[in-house]
Amino acid sequence: MSNPILYLSEASIFQRDNLVLKNVNISIDEGEFVYLIGKTGSGKSSLMKTLYGDLELQQGTGAIVGFDLGKLKEKQIPFLRRKIGVVFQDFKLLNDRNVEGNLQFVLKATGWKDTSQMNAKISEVLEKVGMQTKGFKMPFELSGGEQQRIAIARALLNDPELIIADEPTGNLDPRTSIEVMEVLEEIHKTGKTILMATHDYALIMKYPHKTLKCEGDELFEVVQQNA
Ligand SMILES: Nc1ncnc2c1ncn2[C@@H]1O[C@H](COP(=O)(O)OP(=O)(O)OP(=O)(O)O)[C@@H](O)[C@H]1O
């Protein structure tokens, strides 16, 4: 224990001038799986955005995968994003290209050049999410669960130490949610750290992990029964 991959200390999270969360103290160790829960508008996405450099940390201190969030410079953000895989509720796949094209786009944008290395990496991540036969499919030819698997594969391309998933099952039916959760559980078993925002209490009960809750401007850890 006690090898934090991310922490925030005495942090306040703002959206423009509005305080969303105050006095945030969290520390997540390498290899942990942590849920982030809380009502709509309670600040889950704002907290995650602060962690992946989309919102500036204006008050308090924090670090993530070796980057000091208080001193994060615009030009460092692409390097931070390479060490974090981010997964969104709405998948955010590019609809004008097939699955392989989506994955290749990210590899090229992050400096990969060698075609055979790129192809090998694409096969590797597709296999991890059980989608190795779907590389030629267009996103709109895939179900929601399949699209989310591709989004998870995309998040794995640069071997991130940490996956931040913002309601990854929010658009999926309960059965598909479980399938996607199984993929995340498998990835967690390979040693990756996962921080996942969710509203899905059935998933939390089925796959119990440490749970943090945003409520009334504050963030605190909850025990499973009260989640
Ligand atoms: N871009 C923005 N500009 C200004 N205020 C924002 C912005 N995004 C979010 N907010 C506000 O910040 C607060 C927290 O929103 P946030 O999206 O972090 O909540 P959330 O817990 O992720 O909600 P949800 O479960 O609906 O995704 C809300 O009051 C919201 O209206």
pLDDT tens readout for residues 78-107: 899 889 999 999 999 999 999 999 999 999
Determine if ligand 1 sits within 6 Å of the CB of residue 16: yes
Torsion angle of C-alpha atoms 25, 28, 34, 39, degrees rounded to 10? 20
Determine if ligand 1 sits within 6 Å of the CB of residue 62: no
Q: Strand 33-37 relative to strand 193-197: parallel, antiparallel, unpaired?
A: parallel
Round to whole Å and give the CA distance between 220 and 215.
8
pLDDT given at position 114: 97
Round to whole Å and give the CA distance between 57 and 46.
10
pLDDT confidence of 2, banded at 50, 70, 90? low
Instruction: Give the residue extent of every domain in the chain.
Output: 4-226
Round to whole Å and give the CA distance between 178 and 166.
16
Residue of 16, 19, 20, 195 to test ligand 1 pocket, by largest number of atoms within 8 Å of CB: 20
pLDDT tens readout for residues 148-157: 999 999 999 9
Structural contact between residues 199 and 25, judged by C-beta atoms closer than 8 angstroms: no
pLDDT tens readout for residues 179-201: 999 999 999 999 999 999 999 99
pLDDT given at position 227: 47
CB atoms within 10 A of CB 54: 13
pLDDT given at position 223: 80
Largest Cα–Cα distance of the chain, in whole Å? 51
**Backbone angles phi and psi of 3, in degrees to 5:** -130, 80
Determine if ligand 1 sits within 6 Å of the CB of residue 50: no
Position in ligand 1 atom list of the atom nearest CA 45: 22
Round to whole Å and give the CA distance between 49 and 56.
8
- The residue type of 62 is G
Round to whole Å and give the CA distance between 38 and 204.
13
Residue 37 has pLDDT above 80, yes or no: yes
Two tokens at 20? 């969303």
pLDDT given at position 226: 47
Position in ligand 1 atom list of the atom nearest CA 49: 18
| Average pLDDT score, the chain | 94
CATH node for 4-226: 3.40.50.300
Cα distances (angstroms) measured from residue 197 to each of 112, 140, 212: 30, 25, 9
